[in-house]
A and B are shown apart, each in its own frame.
Chain A
C-alpha cells in the first residue's frame, strides 16, 4: 500500500473582505506530527476546516493521495479524523457509549470497539465517570472524551484543534503521550496548539502562521537556530539592594539595544540575549554587581522563539505602516 500523501495547493479563503488564509502551498510527509502555531485569528483553524471539507477554499485545492478533498465525500471522512474546538454531538451519551459509538461509526466491530473504549477509559482516567452523561462533564473531561472518540479508531490523517485546551497539567502530559503514540509511518498528524512548550516534545515540523500566511516552516530545532540566535537568561538577585534599580535600568537598556524578550518579577529577571561575546560580557558585568544569587542560561524553547519572531513581525509591521504615512 502506498504511503499517504497530503498536499495543499495555493489554498486561500476569504470571509467577506478578510482573507483568513492566502496562497498556502504545503506538502506533508507520512510519519510526521506537524504543529500549526500562531496567534489567534492567524487562520490555523480555517486551514484544518478546509482539510476536512467543512470550509470550501476560495481558491486552490487540497489533495489526499492525488484526490481532491470535496466536502461530504465519504472517502475524505474515512481518511481524516478531526477534533474540533467546539463540543461534539455526543452530549446525550454516557462517556463509555460516546467512545464506543465513535469506534463503531468508524467501522470497528462491536468487540474491538468495546476493547478500545475500555483501554482509552483507563488510559485517560475516565473509568470513574464512564457512566456519566457527556453533557454533564466539565470542559476538560469533555475534551478528553472528544480526544478519545478521535483516537479510538485512528485514520491515516488526524487533525486536532487545540487538543489540550482546558486540561490540567497531568492530563495534558497524558494527551501528548497519546498523540506521540499515534505516530505511525503511514500517518500524518496535524495539530493546532497554543501550548508550544508542550507541543514541542512531539512535533517533527512546525508551521507558524501569521495573518493567513505561513511565515515559518521547519523543524523545531532548525526554527530555533534560524530564528533564535539568542539564549534565554534567568538571573536571580540575592536580595533587595539600592543598586538593584540601576542594574534593572542597565538590563532594560541592553534589552532595548538587542531586542528580544524581557521580564522583571520581584528579584528575578528573565530575558533573551544574543549568543557569543555579548552574552559573556553581560555575565561578567552581572557578576561584578555582586548582587547575583544565580544565573541560568538556557536554549530558547519553541515558545521563546515564537515570541521573538512575533516581536520582529510586529516591528516590521509598524515600520511599514510608518513608511506609508505622508
Chain B
C-alpha cells in the first residue's frame, strides 16, 4: 500500500483556502476591526492638530498602516492559534501529512491579507486627508507580506505559549501597543524605552515602508530586508517547532 503526500504548492493552496474561508462568516471582525482603530487614530490626530508638520503626518500614516497589520497578525492570529490549541483542533494539523512550516506561512499570509483593506484605507486617508505625498511602489506588496509573516510568527508563538485565548489576546495587545508607540512616537521622545521596541518585527518594516513611500531610497534599506528575512525564517521555524512539540 503506497502512501503519498501533496506537493508544497498544493499544500499551500489548500491551507490558504482553509484560512481564507474564515472570512465567509467572520469578515467583520477580521477586516473591519483591523482597519477601524488605526484609521481612527489618523483621523483623530488630523482633527486635533490640523497644522501638524508633514514629516510627522507621514510618520503617523505609515505607523497606522503597520498598526493595522499588527492587529490582524499579532492580536487576532494569537487568539485564533490559542483557540486551536485549547480546543485541540490544532491536533488535526499536527497529524495531517503537511509541512508545519507551510501551515505557518499560510496562517500568517492569510492574516496579513486581512489587514490589507485597512492599510489601503489608511493610505487613502493619508493621501487625501493628511495631504501626505505617498508614492506607490510594487515593493510594498512583498514588504507587507514579509511584515505579515514576521508579525504573524510572533502572534503564532504567543498563541501557542499562552494558556488560553484571553491571555493570548492580552499579550497580543501589549505587543500591538509597542508597535503603536514605535510607529507614531518619535524615538527620541521615548527615551530608554525605545531600545526594547527594537526587538519588534515592525521596526525594520516601518523603516522600509517609510523609505518606499516617502523617500524612495532603496539602498540603505537592504539591511532591513535582510534582517526581516532572518526574523521570518527564525519565527517560522520556532512556530513550527512549538506546534510540532508533543505533550
Q: Would A105 and B246 count as touching, CB distance under 8 A?
A: no
Number of residues on chain A facing chain B (CB within 8 A): 41
Give the distance to chain A from B156, nearest Cβ to Cβ, in Å. Answer: 14
Q: Would B246 and A89 count as touching, CB distance under 8 A?
A: no
Q: Would A92 and B5 count as touching, CB distance under 8 A?
A: no
Determine if B95 is an interface residue (Cβ-Cβ < 8 Å): yes
Determine if B91 is an interface residue (Cβ-Cβ < 8 Å): yes
Name the interface residues of B65-100: CB closer than 8 Å to any CB of A: 84, 87-100
Give the distance to chain A from B105, nearest Cβ to Cβ, in Å. Answer: 15
Residues of B within 8 A of A155 (CB): 3
Asked, given contacts A72-B100, A89-B18, whether A104 binds B10 with beta carbons under 8 Å apart, the answer is: yes
Give the distance to chain A from B79, nearest Cβ to Cβ, in Å. Answer: 15
Asked, given contacts A86-B88, A107-B97, whether A74 binds B5 with beta carbons under 8 Å apart, the answer is: yes
Residues of A within 8 A of B49 (CB): none
Determine if A80 is an interface residue (Cβ-Cβ < 8 Å): yes
Q: Could you say which of B20-28, B35-43, B54-62, B209-217 contacts chain A?
A: B20-28
Determine if B196 is an interface residue (Cβ-Cβ < 8 Å): no
Partner of B87, one of A56, A72, A86: A86
Q: Would B91 and A84 count as touching, CB distance under 8 A?
A: yes
Q: Would B91 and A133 count as touching, CB distance under 8 A?
A: no
Determine if A184 is an interface residue (Cβ-Cβ < 8 Å): yes
Q: What are 5 of the A-B contact pairs (CB < 8 Å)?
A: A56-B246, A77-B97, A84-B91, A86-B89, A90-B92
Name the interface residues of B141-189: CB closer than 8 Å to any CB of A: none
Determine if A166 is an interface residue (Cβ-Cβ < 8 Å): no
Partner of A1, one of B1, B19, B88, B91: B1
Number of residues on chain B facing chain A (CB within 8 A): 36
Tell me, in angstroms, the Cα distance from A179 to B105 when the chains sit together. 35
Chain B residues with CB under 8 Å of chain A are 1-6, 10-11, 14-15, 17-19, 21-22, 24-25, 84, 87-100, 244-247
Tell me, in angstroms, the Cα distance from A106 to B1 when the chains sit together. 14
Chain A residues with CB under 8 Å of chain B are 1, 4, 49, 52-56, 71-72, 74, 77-82, 84, 86-93, 97, 101-102, 104-108, 133, 135, 155-156, 184, 186-187
Tell me, in angstroms, the Cα distance from A155 to B24 when the chains sit together. 32
Tell me, in angstroms, the Cα distance from A74 to B6 when the chains sit together. 11
> Which of B3, B14, B18, B25 gathers the greatest number of chain A CB atoms within 10 Å?
B3
Q: Would A156 and B6 count as touching, CB distance under 8 A?
A: no
Asked, given contacts A89-B84, A97-B21, whether A55 binds B247 with beta carbons under 8 Å apart, the answer is: yes
Residue on B nearest A98 in the bound complex, by CB: B18
Q: Would B246 and A87 count as touching, CB distance under 8 A?
A: no
Residues of B within 8 A of A187 (CB): 1
Residues of A within 8 A of B2 (CB): 1
Residue on A nearest B245 in the bound complex, by CB: A71
Q: Would B1 and A184 count as touching, CB distance under 8 A?
A: yes
Q: Would B21 and A105 count as touching, CB distance under 8 A?
A: no
Tell me, in angstroms, the Cα distance from A97 to B19 when the chains sit together. 12
Give the distance to chain A from B5, nearest Cβ to Cβ, in Å. Answer: 4
Seed contacts A89-B18, A186-B1; 16 additional CB < 8 Å A-B pairs: A54-B91, A72-B100, A77-B97, A82-B95, A86-B87, A87-B87, A87-B88, A88-B89, A91-B89, A93-B17, A93-B21, A101-B17, A102-B96, A104-B14, A105-B11, A106-B4
Tell me, in angstroms, the Cα distance from A306 to B21 when the chains sit together. 45
Residues of B within 8 A of A54 (CB): 91, 94-95, 246-247
Asked, given contacts A91-B89, A92-B25, whether A107 binds B18 with beta carbons under 8 Å apart, the answer is: no
> Which of B25, B93, B94 gathers the greatest number of chain A CB atoms within 10 Å?
B94
Q: Would B93 and A89 count as touching, CB distance under 8 A?
A: yes
Residues of A within 8 A of B6 (CB): 104-107
Tell me, in angstroms, the Cα distance from A104 to B7 when the chains sit together. 10
Give the distance to chain B from A114, nearest Cβ to Cβ, in Å. Answer: 13
Q: Would B244 and A90 count as touching, CB distance under 8 A?
A: no
Asked, given contacts A52-B95, A54-B246, A54-B247, whether A78 binds B5 with beta carbons under 8 Å apart, the answer is: yes
Q: Would A77 and B91 count as touching, CB distance under 8 A?
A: no
Residue on B nearest A13 in the bound complex, by CB: B247
Tell me, in angstroms, the Cα distance from A317 to B99 when the chains sit together. 47
Tell me, in angstroms, the Cα distance from A84 to B97 when the chains sit together. 15
Tell me, in angstroms, the Cα distance from A184 to B2 when the chains sit together. 13
Residues of A within 8 A of B93 (CB): 89
Give the distance to chain B from A43, nearest Cβ to Cβ, in Å. Answer: 14
Q: Would A133 and B25 count as touching, CB distance under 8 A?
A: yes
Partner of B18, one of A4, A72, A92: A92
Residues of B within 8 A of A186 (CB): 1
Partner of A106, one of B15, B22, B97, B100: B97
Asked, given contacts A92-B22, A104-B14, whether A156 binds B97 with beta carbons under 8 Å apart, the answer is: no
Q: Would B97 and A72 count as touching, CB distance under 8 A?
A: no
Residue on B nearest A146 in the bound complex, by CB: B92
Residues of A within 8 A of B246 (CB): 53-56, 71-72
